A = this chain, B = another copy of it.
Amino acid sequence: MSGERVDVLRLGYRRGRDPRITTHLALVGRAFGADRFLLAGDEDQDMFDNLKSVEERFGKGLECEYIKSPMGWLRKFVEEDAGDGLPGVAVHLTMYGEPFREAIPKIRRDRPLVVIVGGAKVPPDVFKLSQYNVAVGNQPHSEVAALGLFLDSWHGGNTLDRKFEDARLIIEPSAKGKKVIDLDR
């Protein structure tokens, strides 16, 4: 796990309806090697606080940020400046896209990447602005699973060794039961 920055951009968040799914998305981003989680739609400080408390226990690795104008942000990202003055790469996850395992080898790795996860209604510009529209299967299932499979594959299956800074709780793999190391005890 290394290389250019990876962002996850969640579009169209609805505070009343989506907090659990969207928390899962952010945590999947964190576990599978994303550096930033960008939320568009409704603001939700409670969800960000919840994510921060996970990072306080299990270690820091994911920045969270609210994006007020995601389409303007995306246009700038892919056409002008992904943060360092040069354009980045946008991958839109959609059940209508091309197979992710065929797409991934085509995607350049020397630029920052944003993985876009839509909501119920995705603006057509997302399909146009993204250099890649990528499907994890063409059946309805879950953006949470799609993000996990895409990121795992993008990082060659190596994300699960990711180290997080200042972790207080560390889980040791175990065939039976639970082994948790609490560094504060």
* Interface, chain A (partner B; CB < 8 A): 20-21, 24-25, 27-28, 30-32, 54, 58, 95-99, 101, 124, 127-128, 132-133, 135-142, 144-149, 152, 157, 159-160, 162, 164, 170-180
Contacts and interface: CB of A to CB of B under 8 A. Distances in A.
A101 B157 contact: yes
Contacts of A31: 137, 139-141, 145
Contact of A138 (B95, B128, B139, B173): B173
A28 B58 contact: no
B179 A160 contact: no
A144 B24 contact: yes
Given A27-B141, A142-B148, A171 B99 contact: no
Nearest to A151: B145
B132 A141 contact: no
Contacts of A149: 145, 148-149, 152
Question: Which of A32, A132, A138 has the most chain B CB atoms closer than 10 A to its own CB?
Answer: A138
